[in-house]
Amino acid sequence: MRRASLNLASSLLSRTLAASSSRSAAASSSFPAPNRFLHSALYRTSTAGGSNNHRRCFSSLLRPYTAASLGFAGALITSLAATSVYQEALAKEPPPAEALPNDVVLYQYEACPFCNKVKAYLDYYDIPYKVVEVNPLSKKEIKWSEYQKVPILVVDGDQLNDSSAIIDKLGQKIMPKKKANENDEETKWRQWVDNHLVHVLSPNIYRNATEALESFDYITSNGNFSYTEKFSVKYAGAAAMYFVSKKLKKKYNITDERASLYEAAETWVDALNGREFLGGSKPNLADLSVFGVLRPIRYLRAGKDMVEHTRIGDWFTRMESVVGESSRIKP
């Protein structure tokens, strides 16, 4: 690709310079009489030197512009090459087409951080999936399952439970040559997501009555509720979760909700240690896990505050870009 870019730039530059020379020659023959003296002085033509002297003088004048053009072309090629390398680094690595499952169904709550962790994985690897939104009150959509939590992922008829286990088992199916949990750093931070980060979220999104209502407005707008359920769940649920969040604060020794969220965000950025992603030039499972659990709160008040007051915003934006559009199959 880089060689092709060099050849193209060289070709364009040659044509541009040739066109410039042609236009200059044409201009010489068409100058009106009053300007011929100026033209003669510019090109230093003389009866003794003839056309060779003309060309030498013209080349002398053109040389700095040619050098500048070559310098610009070189800078342009370097920039294009760097952009190409960066885009290649961010390019997804989809599994082989023959390894993709035929039918994937995710049973979920739209706002559930663990469900969003699974969706981040499916979206990044471009695995098409259907979604069944579970009513958290009746759970009628998963009555068929002994396991009564979400997410549940059904892959070609096989039921997978628990977000981290789902990702590991699905990875073994679609990328059997890649060993699961082969990276100690990746494993450490995936566990950090499940054991720490998710527990910081509820006390933040239900921190006060206003934020609790904001969160339940998002939940009821995207969840599987009837019209009457939406109204009752929004207000009753917000009130209930406001008090639950206070118990969670005590359980996980959280004294200041926002401070704990900011600290978690900064801890993650420190773990990146200057890298684009924890996985280096491409996200690994830890990147996808952190991104997944944060995605549902990103544009709530808590998420906006987190991005405004910590350094996590640049990484999150890169993740949004590389994960790309959802691979969810719309009904």
Which position among 107, 114, 242, 291 bears the catalytic label?
Answer: 114
Which position among 58, 107, 112, 242 bears the catalytic label?
Answer: 112
- Quote the Cα angle for 315-316-320, to 5°: 120
User: For this structure, is 109 an active site residue?
Assistant: yes
Element (H, E) at 98: none
Q: How many CA atoms lie within 13 A of 231 on its CB side?
A: 2
Q: What is the maximum alpha-carbon separation in the chain?
A: 103
User: For this structure, is 57 an active site residue?
Assistant: no
User: For this structure, is 252 an active site residue?
Assistant: no
Q: Which of 232, 250, 241, 233 is nearest to 211 (CA)?
A: 241
Which position among 58, 107, 109, 277 bears the catalytic label?
Answer: 109
Structure tokens at 132: 């069944």
Element (H, E) at 108: strand 104-108
- Quote the Cα angle for 160-165-171, to 5°: 85
What is the rounded CA–CA span in Å between residue 166 and residue 168?
6
Give the neighbor-by-neighbor strand order of the sheet with 130-133. Answer: 130-133, 104-108, 152-155, 158-161
Q: Which of 116, 113, 144, 145 is nearest to 131 (CA)?
A: 116
Which position among 43, 58, 115, 129 bears the catalytic label?
Answer: 115
What is the rounded CA–CA span in Å between residue 155 and residue 130?
11
Cα distances (Å, whole numbers) of residue 26 to 31, 40, 267: 9, 14, 68
Catalytic residues: 109, 112, 114-115
